């Protein structure tokens, strides 16, 4: 798919089939995330956790009575270690968008999940199970799976001003 086609096709999907994505698809998505630009080239300050274990997903789902990750079969958490330059959010967002576009290109559904991060950070037990190295903090979460519903992408606009 041409890059702009994937960009235009990307949409947040909030209904998924109970079917796992393939390892080959996951691998491509992860590779795309790893190719993201990272401030000061500190790839070693980033970490990606792939959660596909049904019991652990259920545990996260049970942190609230709302299905905040829409029962996606794969949940990816991007974590970062802040080296004092405060780029952890920016870096994580770059990794996220690369993964989202690759997943879209593969025909998968995705949803960026901010609410999941807040809940995971609040729950020491779940946070511990992520088994992150010291200093790493979960920053962003991505749900990926096979869309159970066709969602028409919206055309979004952001105001632009020009200084020519
Ligand atoms: C940083 C960030 C956090 C988000 N958190 C959530 C979330 O917790 N739950 C959710 O359903 N969607 C979440 N979204 C998706 C946005 O609501 C969505 O991208 C936006 O409404 C535009 O719709 P579209 O993605 O379908 O084009 C998040 C998006 C971003 C970029």
- Is the Cβ atom of 147 under 6 angstroms away from ligand 1? no
Q: Which CATH number fits domain 3-145: 3.10.20.70, 3.40.109.10, 3.90.1150.10, 3.40.50.300?
A: 3.40.109.10
Q: pLDDT exceeding 90 applies to what percent of the chain?
A: 96
The pTM score is: 0.97
CA of 164 to the centre of ligand 1 (A): 33
- Above 80 in pLDDT, residue 1? no
Domain ranges of the chain: 3-145
- Above 80 in pLDDT, residue 51? yes
Q: State the pLDDT at residue 163.
A: 98
- Is the Cβ atom of 112 under 6 angstroms away from ligand 1? yes
What average pLDDT does the structure give for the chain? 96
Long-range CB contacts (within 8 A, 24+) of 61-70: 63/119, 63/120, 63/122, 63/123, 63/126, 64/119, 68/113, 68/115, 68/116, 68/119, 69/111, 69/113, 69/116, 69/141, 69/143, 70/13, 70/14, 70/15, 70/16, 70/111, 70/143
pLDDT in tens, 110-149: 999 999 999 999 999 999 999 999 999 999 999 999 999 9
């Amino acid at each position: 798919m041409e890059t702009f086609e994937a960009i235009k096709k990307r949409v947040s999907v909030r209904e998924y089939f109970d079917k796992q994505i393939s390892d080959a698809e996951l691998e491509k998505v992860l590779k795309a995330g790893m190719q993201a630009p990272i401030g000061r080239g500190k790839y070693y300050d980033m970490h990606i956790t792939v959660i596909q274990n049904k019991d652990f997903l259920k545990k996260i789902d049970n942190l609230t009575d709302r299905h905040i990750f829409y029962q996606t079969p794969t949940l990816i958490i991007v974590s970062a270690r802040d080296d004092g330059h405060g780029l952890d959010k920016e870096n994580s967002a770059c990794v996220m968008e690369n993964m989202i576009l690759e997943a879209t290109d593969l025909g998968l559904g995705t949803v960026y999940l901010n609410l999941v991060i807040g809940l995971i950070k609040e729950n020491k037990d779940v946070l511990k199970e992520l088994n992150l190295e010291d200093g790493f903090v979960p920053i962003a979460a991505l749900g990926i799976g096979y869309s159970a519903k066709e969602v028409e992408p919206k055309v979004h606009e952001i105001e632009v001003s020009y200084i020519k």
